[in-house]
Each structure stands twice: as structure tokens, then as C-alpha cells.
Structure 1
Amino acid sequence: MAFVLETAGALLPASDLDPDDLDDLSPEELEQLAAPWPVRWLYPPEEGDPDRVVYLFCGPGGLDVGVREVLGHQLDTIGVEFNKDASATARAAGFRRIVMDVRDLDPRHPALRWVRGLIVTAPCQCWTPAGKRAGQDPRNQELLLDVFTAAFEATFGHWHDSGPCEWEGECLICDDPEWDGYGGFTGPLLTLDEVRAPIAQMTDERIGLIAEVLIWSLSLTAQWDNLRWLAMEQSSALPELVLDGLREELWSADWCSAEYRVLDAVDYGLASRRKRVFLMAARHSYVDLDALTPKAPMPTTTAAEALGWPEGIRVNTRGVRKTAGGNCWSADKPATGITSKIRGWYWEHDKDRRFSLDEAALLVGFRPGYPWTGSRSSCTQQIGDVVAPPMGGVVIGSLLGLDWEPRLRAYLAQLYPTTAGRPAHALAA
């Protein structure tokens, strides 16, 4: 095995597999070698082929819809999703899914050699006020940052200057018989199982899922150095301490830029509020956060206008329970943040009038007829957790340097035709 001792790329053992050797394998052997990824990913892409993208915790396809239908852009994306209903929904919509636990896959798989994009939208319940907020516990955050550090040690290791280091027998630099005395990274010092080990001490193991952002991006960078961009979506309640920890490890791995911003989908024309934080990183260029801002205000659509309801409707979300924020919202404004609980919401004056799946999905940016699969509870959970398609288009469009704004306006005009072309100030009141 060969090692290239640079600041990034091929720090992990390079695969002995040469694409030319694949011609000697039978179709069955190729499938076995590539599994669970497609055989064609074992071969280098041809000029003009779309970026190969791995999408972790991809759900029912909201971000995919944003790329395909909002942007009209093509990516060669394969999503990994453990939830069978969400995967079935995405497949019915035409998206490719691997139904597995992300942690059971090896990011150093030879089929991932030419992956250029990584998207991670890990579950957010452990961070949000709607959940138990275990991610806000200082001890859990301390453990999580330890996992971040370990992810770097499992891929790049440590940097040392000239002279033998303390990792004798493990260091890929000073153990190299042809070492010329110059400094560099030691290479991997931990296994990925050792990286994830502290997660078992957390009060909610879902907290540790966000570490897959680094485990996968750093592994792909250290193994092949073909990864070019990264996008992450997470609850807006994600602490800055965690976001800064992610950025620092990426910078240490020679990523040029890693930035984050909290965005509310209602500011991009959605008929409901949906505040999320997006981290965007680029390997060899600078992320332009200004590209996330539309040149002119997007049209505002109320829930009633989006759904074709009469004026004056109020939606009950909590039955007879009273909270500081009340138990109703007015449909004459954009809807409150949609969660899985929408399955039980109803018109205040008519308890039998509940949301259909199409209505719930329309509020988060899906055209009617999206093939939601599973029980009503499962479908509303998917709708509550999904990345809103307009936001997928905005973030991926900005990251790839695409002019997303006219495409988003056209998509919104089809999605909410009653407000098409009307300026935001005319509806804001």
C-alpha cells in the first residue's frame, strides 16, 4: 500500500484497486465489490457528468426536490436513510436510497473515490425545544467535541515537525523508510469505532449523529481528496459551540471555507415558518453567504392563500391545553413551524376539519401528490422533519454558484398561484 504524506489527500491507505482491473471482474463480482453503492461509482466519471453526492440522513426527499424541481439541476445523489417509510417515499418520488444505518457504512469505500459533494441532515430532536434538548447539556457537548477531535485523529492524525514522534510504530511519516525528515500529518491513530465510543456516554445517542459530518467529510478528504463541498442542515437551536467545533476541524483539514447561517424559510416565500441553521463548506473556494440573500424580497404567502381557505380561519394545535404561546394560530398569516403534530391540528370552529397530507406538505414546499408512504403518523413525521424544498434549492444553489432566485420564484408561482407576482409588502400586513 502507498501513502502520500501531504496536508490532505491519500493520508489513509490508498486502495490497491485500479479501475483498469475492474474489466477482469464478472458482473456479480462488481456488484459485490461496490455494494451497497452502484457499480458505476467504481469507475471515474466522464467529463460533464453531474457531481456524485452522498446524502446522509436524507429522509423523504425534500432537499432532493429542491435540487431537481426548484433548481432544475442534476446531481448524481445517493441517499442513506434508516427509516423505511421515508426511504420508500423518496424512491417513489424517483430518488435513490440505501436503507441502512449511516454508522454501518465505511466512508472509505472504494466506490466513494470520486464523490464530490456531501450532504448531512441528521435528526434534530435532541436539540430543539420540542424535544428533551439533551444536546444542550454541557457534559453531552463536551463529549461531542471529544468525538470531533477523535474524528480528526482517525483520519489525519496529528501534525508533527521534523524528527521522530511519540507515535512510533503508528506514524506514517517517521515510520516511512523513505522519510526525508520533513514534517506532516501522522495519519490515522484511531479507528472509527474508537471515534464513536464516547457517544455511548451521552444521555441521548442521537446527539452523536452530527459527528458523522466530520467522520465522513474528513475520511473522504484524507482518503481521496476529491470531496469539494459540504452542506449540513440542523435545528436553529444547535449551539454555536458545536458549529464552531465543526468548522475548526474542517479548517484543520485544509478546507478553504466553512460558514453557517440561520435561515427562516418564510423569508424565501414558504407559507410556513421553518427556521434552520445551514453549514456550508468548500474545499478549494470561499463560501459566499451573501449568495443566500435574494436580490429583492420574496413574495409572502399566508397559509390560507396557499391552501385556498377562506379568511378568518384559526388552527388549533393543542386542543384545550393552554400555553404561554397560546394554542391557536391564524391562517391569515404564514403558518407556525410545521411539526409531526400537524396530524392532530384542526380548525378551531370545526374539530372535524383536519389537515390532509397534501395540505401539510404544501405548507413546507411540496407540490400536491407527493408520494408519502406509511401510516398517517409516519407521513406527518416525515413532513415535520423534512428539509423544505425551497431551502434545499437556495442552499445547494448558493454553494454551487447557481442563480437560484429566478428558479425559486418560478417554483413558488406554481406552488402558490394565488400570490404569484404579488410583492411582499402587499401581503406582509
Structure 2
Amino acid sequence: MSVTTATLPDLEELVDWSIEELEQLAAPWPARWLLPPKPGDPERVVYLFAGPGGLEVGTRDVLGRELDIIGVESNKDAAATAVKAGFQRIVADVRTLDPHHPALRWTRGLIVTAPCQCWTPAGKRAGQDPRNQQILLDMFTCAWEATVGIWAELDCTAECPDECDECWEGWSGPIYGVDEVRAMAKDLTDERIGLLAEVVIWGLALSVASYDFGWIAMEQSSALPEVIIDGIRDEFRCADWLAINFEVLDAKDYGLASRRRRTFMLAARHRYSIAGSTKPESEIPTTTAAQALGWPPGIRVNTRGVRRTAGGNCWSADKPATAITSKIRGWYREDDPSHRFDLDEAALLVGFRPGHPWTGSRSSCTQQIGDVVAPPMGAVVLGALLGMAWEARLREYLAEIYSTHPTVRAEHALAA
């Protein structure tokens, strides 16, 4: 059954329903989300393309902030990893879900970390094609019409008084379904490009549903074109969002033992500025891969065997590691080719404690590690959006996870 606000019983009636009836009505969202939160309950947050839980590790383990986050993830292994780590997941394709579902009326925040390969060489840069970009921009525009609608005005007769109740103008509400917007992606040369439209579709739909829906965080490739950034910003400005900031941040500048340069959108609906800053008050010590892993100086890591490319086929562990991808499953130390990265070592380089419950084959697990939002960056971005003092907590977390090397532990602990 398709559930809409029009078919939803009154709240007074829902209170008397059984948990089984509420679960059926709320599906796939939790039954408790059909009812308004109680005073003191954590904020409800929808997280699209949620993966194995990196951003949530940043929120829970670094910031110590409790949020009621429901993540949507189509990859069963990534979803299983997140659930084992204590997070909530709906296993589904985001494009099959309705952002107008009444269980989402009390949502306060939205996080979107759509796949980014289509903007990079790994995805053949299909997102850089002007034709694909125009289709995506058209999807943004149509997302407005499928959520907010069009400006409607009723004409009255010349004798109609100025205060006539029949005279009305305002936004019409949806004039067609979001599925029609999503169907436009069929004309893209890489359908993953169209996934970025979900930040506009869901952001606008949730804005219409509740005035209290107030913030959005998005992570994307650092190669995201400026024309696409402008397109997203324009849609939210038209919806009266007051602050829409795009920042390119590199995780190595925040103490991570690997490079991870990403574009982040931080948007606040009712504030003219983001509550906090993503910039540390003082420089965070650099962590090299060797320090993080407890290796001696001078180690080099081979990433491509005997193949040579313009970017080389190895990197020095005396610096932060090159950006971690799923290919780390085949990387090895040049001084010991038998030494392959285990999952804890790979995950440590992107900011996870040892023992994170990666689920699936080795290839699946390294893919999750390569795609995940680094927990320290999740803490920085959500800390800034929520107005939390994230810096001291981040330094403490880094001192803990990189404790195998006494020097780096001391540097982070002193800075904290």
C-alpha cells in the first residue's frame, strides 16, 4: 500500500494501534517515526547511500553525539557491516523510496553520500560531459516541480474584492511524481550521475514536509563541476535555505594517515551561517602511514605491481598514504612483497579503530573501505553543522587509534 499524508490516520488514532500495525504502515521506516519525537529524543536523520557506517562512527565515537540516523544502502555487505557496528539500515535502492512518506515528517537532518566515481578517472569522467551535466541540471529543476510545485494563481472577476477568499496564490505542491524525475536518468551515459539528484529531491521534499527540517550534509568527489554545485545551490536558495556552503577538504589536513580530498556541502535552512567552522583553531599534526601502522622509516608501498603509470606505482609510507581505494587489497610493501594489507590496516588509514566488523568477501570489504566517509571527516562536517566543538574530540580520537606509534600518540595527545 502506498502511504501518503492523506491516508495517514490522525495521531490520536495511531497511539492506539498495535506495533504490528504501525510497522506495516511505516515500512520501510521504523514505526516510532510515525509519531512525533518526545522531549529529549535524538534528532531524526535520513542518510542516503549510507555505506558501512563511517560518518556514523564519526558522530558516535568521535563527537559522542547521539542522533537517530536511519541509513539507506543497497549493498547488502555494506549494510550488514553497519548493522554489526550498531547502526540502522534499510537495504534498498534510494530511488525506490518516496521522500514524501509521512513517517519522515519529523526528520531534522539529511545526509547524502552518493557514489562519486562518475566524476573521476575511475568512472571515465562521464559526469564531466556537458550533455550529461545538462540532463542532471534539468533533473534538479524538475525535482522542484515534483516536490514544491509551481506558482499558482487563481483569477477572479473584476468585481472581486481584494480580500476574496477565492483569490489565492502560492506553490501548488507536486505536479508530478519523483519517479518521473528519476526516469530522466535513462538518457545519461552513466546512471550514477543521476544519483546526485537525490540530494535535491529529498532535500526539497523534506523541506515541504516540515519547517523544522533544518540541515543537510553532502559528500562528493572533489572533481564535482562548479556548474553542478551552482545548480544545487540555486535550488535550495529558491527554497529559502539561508546557508549553502561547499568546501573541499582533505582528510590528511585533519590528522588522517591518508589523503582523501572531497567536496562537502553544509547547508542550514534557518541560519545565515553554519553553526561552527570546519577549520581547526591550530594545525593538527600530520600522521604518516608508517606512524599509523607502526612501521619503521623508509618503507614504500607498491600499488600496481610492475605496471608503470604517469602517477607512478608506489608511495612512501613516510607521508600520509595516497587515497585509499578498493585496490588496496593488492598493495604490498616493496621490502616484503608477501605483506598485504589486512582489513584493520586498510581501515586504520581511513580512520577506523581496529575491529570494525567488515562483512563480505575481501574484495567487498576493501570496496567498502575505499568508498566510506572517513570517520574524522564525518565528525568535522557534522560537528560544524550541529555547532559542536569537534576539534578536541578529534585530537583525542586520533591519539587513540594511532597509538601504535608513541611519537604520533604524544603529538595528538599534547595538541588535545
TM-score over 0.5 for the pair: yes
How far off its partner does 1:131 sit? 2.1
Match of 2:141 in 1: 149
Q: CA deviation at 1:160?
A: 5.0
Answer whether contact 1:113 1:226 (CA < 8 A) is retained: no
Residue 311 of structure 2 aligns to a residue whose secondary structure is coil
- Following superposition, the deviation at residue 127 of structure 1 comes to 0.9
Shift of 1:421: 3.7
Contact 2:140/2:200, CA 8 A, preserved across alignment: yes
- Counterpart of 2:55 in structure 1 is 63
Q: Is the 8 A contact 1:153 1:190 kept in 2?
A: yes
1:280 corresponds to which residue?
Answer: 266
Tell me if the contact between 2:398 and 2:412 (Cα under 8 Å) persists in the aligned partners.
Answer: no
Counterparts of residues 166-185 of structure 1 (less than 5 Å): 179-185=165-171
Q: Which residue of 53, 78, 86 corresponds with 2:45? A: 53
Q: Does the 8 Å CA contact 1:270/1:364 hold for their aligned counterparts?
A: yes
- Structure 1 counterpart of 2:81, one-letter code: T
Where do 1:105-120 residues align within 5 Å? 105-120=97-112
**SS of the counterpart of 2:258?**
coil
Letter of the 1:151 counterpart: A
Range that drifts further, 221-230 or 191-200: 221-230
The question of 1:365 aligning with 2:355 is answered: no
Secondary structure at the counterpart of residue 352 of structure 1: strand
> What is the identity, as a one-letter code, of the residue corresponding to 2:339?
R
Distance 1:330 1:130 in 2: 22
Q: Find the aligned partners of 2:206 and 2:242 in 1 and give their Cα distance.
A: 16
Per-residue CA deviations over 1:320-367 (Å, capped at 9, x if unaligned) read 111112111000111000000000001113221110100000000000
1:311 matched residue in structure 2: 297
> Which of these residues, 113, 132, 153, is aligned with residue 121 of structure 1?
113
Which residue, 206, 209, 216 being the options, matches 1:230?
A: 216
Query: Structure 2 unaligned runs (5+)?
Result: 157-163
Q: How does 1:1-400 map to 2 (within 5 A)?
A: 16-160=8-152, 163=155, 179-288=165-274, 291-400=277-386
Q: Deviations over 1:164-209 (max 9, x none)?
A: 8xxxxxxxxxxxxx85434321221221111112100000111000
- Residue identity opposite 1:19 in structure 2: L
- Residues 360-419 of structure 1: CA distance to partner in whole angstroms, max 9, x if unpaired? 000000000110000000000000000000000000000000000010011011011230
**3-state DSSP of counterpart to 2:277:** helix
Query: Structure 1 stretch 233-242 or stretch 181-190: which is displaced more?
Result: 181-190
Q: Is the 8 A contact 2:302 2:331 kept in 1?
A: yes
Residues 248-257 or 141-150, more deviating? 248-257
C-alpha distance in 1, partners of 2:385/2:124? 32
- Offset, 1:225: 3.0
Q: Offset at 1:283? A: 1.2
Alignment TM-score, normalising by the size of structure 1: 0.90
In the other structure, the counterpart of 2:387 is 401
How far 1:26 sits from its partner (Å)?
A: 2.7
Give the CA deviation at 1:286: 2.6
Preserved CA contact (<8 Å) 2:72 2:92: yes
Give, in angstroms, the shift of residue 41 of structure 1.
0.8
Task: Say if 1:339 and 1:380, in contact at 8 Å, map to a contact too.
Answer: yes
Alpha-carbon distance between aligned partners in 2 of 1:407 and 1:15, rounded to the nearest angstrom: 45
Compute the TM-score of the two structures, normalised by the length of structure 2. Answer: 0.93
Q: How far does the alpha carbon of each residue in 1:5-41 deviate from its partner, in whole angstroms, 9 at most, with x for none?
A: xxxxxxx966653211113423321111011111111
Counterpart position of 2:411: 422
Which residue number corresponds to residue 172 of structure 1?
A: none
- State how far apart, in whole Å, the 2-side matches of 1:423 and 1:67 are: 19
Q: What's the counterpart of residue 160 of structure 2?
A: none
Structure 1 ranges of 4+ moved more than 6 A = none
Identity %: 67
Equivalent pair of 1:287/1:399 in contact (CA under 8 Å): no
Residue segments in structure 1 that go unaligned for 5+ positions in a row:
1-11, 165-177
Partners of 1:361 and 1:368 within 8 A in 2? yes
Letter in 1 for 2:42: P
C-alpha distance in structure 1 between counterparts of 2:354 and 2:10, whole Å: 47
Alignment length, in residue pairs? Answer: 401
Counterpart of 2:122 in 1: which secondary structure?
A: coil
Equivalent residue number for residue 175 of structure 1: none
CA-to-partner distance for each residue in 1:126-153, whole Å, 9 max, x for gaps?
A: 1112221111111000000000000001
